[in-house]
């Protein structure tokens, strides 16, 4: 139960950061293109690279801190960072084809899932 609270606190921070960035992007860059999403996705990928590399090589943290930072804050900010790290990790382990299949398949199937969900809703009376 304690870890769930740590994750929830971090996720609340991350989600509020995402919302704040989205509002900032609309105000400063305009509402036509989803700049806010792009910023949090790319920023989240950059940050997860920093945090996980620091944790694994220079700054050993307790599981609670790791869950707070990675699963909580960065997970609340963007799950794209986790997805990108997992694809990178597969690639770094020499599993290049599985990494490419995972990345390409996740994007393609994710888009297909959105389309399928929208199509089902359009069929409803």
Band the pLDDT of 1: cuts 50, 70, 90.
confident
Domain of 114 in residue numbering reads as 95-125
Mean residue pLDDT of the chain comes to 92
pLDDT of residue 74: 93
How many domains does the structure of the chain reveal? 2
Q: Are residues 72 and 108 in the same domain?
A: no
Those residues with Cβ within 8 angstroms of residue 102's Cβ, 6 or more apart along the chain or in another chain: 86, 87, 90
pLDDT digits (tens, 9 = 90+) for 38-81: 999 899 889 998 998 899 899 899 999 999 999 999 999 988 88
- In this prediction the pTM is 0.77
Structure-block tokens of residue 47: 């940050």
Q: Are residues 88 and 105 in the same domain?
A: no
Q: Are residues 67 and 14 in the same domain?
A: yes
pLDDT of residue 10: 97
Reduced DSSP (H G I as helix, E B as strand, rest coil) percent helix, strand, coil of the chain, to 5: 85, 0, 15
Q: Are residues 46 and 12 in the same domain?
A: yes
Q: Are residues 65 and 84 in the same domain?
A: yes
Structure-block tokens of residue 91: 């690639």
Q: Are residues 13 and 38 in the same domain?
A: yes
């Amino acid at each position: 139960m304690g870890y769930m609270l740590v994750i929830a606190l971090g996720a609340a921070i991350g989600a509020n950061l995402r919302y704040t960035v989205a509002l900032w992007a609309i105000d400063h860059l305009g509402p036509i293109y989803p700049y806010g999403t792009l910023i949090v996705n790319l920023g989240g990928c950059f940050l997860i690279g920093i945090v996980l590399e620091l944790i694994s090589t220079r700054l050993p943290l307790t599981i609670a801190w790791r869950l707070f930072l990675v699963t909580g804050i960065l997970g609340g900010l963007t799950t794209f960072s986790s997805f990108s790290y997992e694809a990178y990790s597969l690639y770094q382990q020499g599993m290049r084809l599985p990494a490419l299949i995972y990345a390409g398949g996740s994007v393609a199937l994710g888009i297909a899932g959105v389309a399928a969900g929208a199509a089902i809703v359009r069929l409803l009376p």
